Amino acid sequence: MAEVLSKSGLSVPMGLNQKRRDFYLRKGLVSVKIGGFGGKRLVLDDHRRGRSRKGSIAPHAAKMSLTIGKGMKWWNKGLPSNMKEISSAQDFVDSLSNAGDKLVIVDFFSPGCGGCKALHPKICQFAEMNPGVDFLHVDYEEHKSMCYNLNVHVLPFFRFYRGAHGRLCSFSCTNATIKKFKDALAKHTPERCSLGPTKGLEESELLSLAANKDLSFSYTGKPVVPASNPDEMVEPTLAGPKLPVPRTTSRGSTQVSLNSLVTPWR
């Protein structure tokens, strides 16, 4: 032990003779505490007395930490290529707009939701079986303001979107009610061609997100076409023969000109 310490360039405090030191090391009564010494000195501590022996330098508190890589988060495990985690409100709106006519399924979850964690592997399986469908993951804890504006108040929660139709359906389900998800997927998976631009979120939802100061999202509403003034509207008239205008006498009786009623012989 002394030779090893001497070769390492570290000094050993005096207070224990060689025999005692070797005896304690063999019996495990002395430990080497590493931490906070900065490569200068090792301190042998006497476990029998619970304190350093007289004449030795007071030991530093052991500070030994192991850097262990954190395990992958459960909501990031086994994600297929058609599954994406949303990073912001703008990313969410853009993802819906860029999907075109593809079916988009939005999965609202929370890391602390047991039902979300249990359902996650099955959702990943559905994504692998349907590569033509886009799956978007929205972390409720990171995007509470956005979820509030979208009226998401229960987890796990799902919404289906497609092209010009916009939102197709929305519901909450767990492992026990997974049939609800299967039925919606089977109903809306067949390809369709939308006759119009991709709708995405509702106009009211977009305006609500834009009004939220917690979100870095801007949106300009659609221009409103002014309605016609009803007072300026001219009612259509039917074309027909002009009738003679009656004349009123001083007595109030109506008198029609005879000349206007007589047909000329010529």
Element (H, E) at 262: none
CA distance 158 to 109: 9
Q: Is 140 exposed, middle or buried (0-12, 13-18, 19+ CB in 10 A)?
A: buried
Catalytic hit among 116, 124, 147, 193: 116
In this structure, is the dihedral angle defined by the CA atoms of residues 120, 90, 202 and 199, taken in order, positive or negative?
Answer: negative
Query: What 3-state class would DSSP assign to 156?
Result: coil
Distance CA 9, CA 16 (A): 19
Selected catalytic residue, list 113, 124, 147, 193: 113
- The reply to whether 116 belongs to the active site is yes
First-to-last alpha carbon distance for the chain, in angstroms, is 149
Four-residue CA torsion sign, 47, 52, 54, 55: positive
Could you tell me which of 159, 115, 118, 122 has the C-alpha nearest to residue 137?
159
Q: How many residues does the chain have?
A: 266
Which amino acid does the sequence have at 200?
A: G
Active-site residue list: 113, 116
